[in-house]
Amino acid sequence: MANLTEFTVANFEDEVLKSSEPVLVDFWATWCGPCRMLAPLLEELAGENTGVTIGKLDIDQNQALAMKYNVTNIPTILIFKNGEVVERIQGGQAKHRLQESIDAAKG
């Protein structure tokens, strides 16, 4: 997870809500098979993109944030810009689809 940021309740406000660039947050859990399949794609995207922060938030360790953002199914990806959710993506996605969402948030 070298390129991915690990989001928690402790750093969420500073790293996500106050970020000057778009932030992609993958809400996941260790027991979620589709989440584990998505992880390598997110790692690649994090290494290939500048001007965006990409990271993960473990819903089991950060249940309050999962509840706040109404994350009931995982994987769920929320893209934040200027502290607001600009896109919600549920379920596994192809890399090109995620790249399109990143580009739209940066644009």
Chain segment 53-86, per-residue pLDDT in tens: 999 999 999 999 999 999 999 999 999 999 999 9
Residue 16: both structure tokens together: 């996500």
pLDDT value at 1 more than 60: no
| For the chain, percent of residues with pLDDT exceeding 90 | 93
pTM of the model: 0.95
**Which of the four pLDDT bands, split at 50, 70 and 90, describes residue 3?**
confident
Which residue in 16, 24, 25, 35 is the catalytic one? 35
The angle subtended at Cα 95 by Cα 32 and Cα 56, nearest 5°, is 45
Residue 35 bears catalytic tag: yes
When the pLDDT of each residue in the chain is averaged and rounded to a whole number, the result is 95
pLDDT value at 32 more than 90: yes
What does the buried/exposed string (b/e) look like for 6-38 if buried means 16 or more CB atoms within 10 Å of the residue's CB? ebeeeebeebbeebeebbbbbbbeeebeebeeb
How far is the C-alpha of 16 from the C-alpha of 84, rounded, in Å? 9
- Residue 37 sits in a domain whose CATH number is 3.40.30.10
Amino acid at 30: T
Count of structural domains, the chain: 1
**Which of the four pLDDT bands, split at 50, 70 and 90, describes residue 92?**
confident
Which residue in 32, 43, 69, 87 is the catalytic one? 32
Neighbours of 52 (CB within 10 A): 18
How far is the C-alpha of 43 from the C-alpha of 76, rounded, in Å? 16
How far is the C-alpha of 81 from the C-alpha of 79, rounded, in Å? 7
Residue 66 bears catalytic tag: no
Q: Which domain holds residue 98?
A: 5-106
| For the chain, percent of residues with pLDDT exceeding 70 | 98
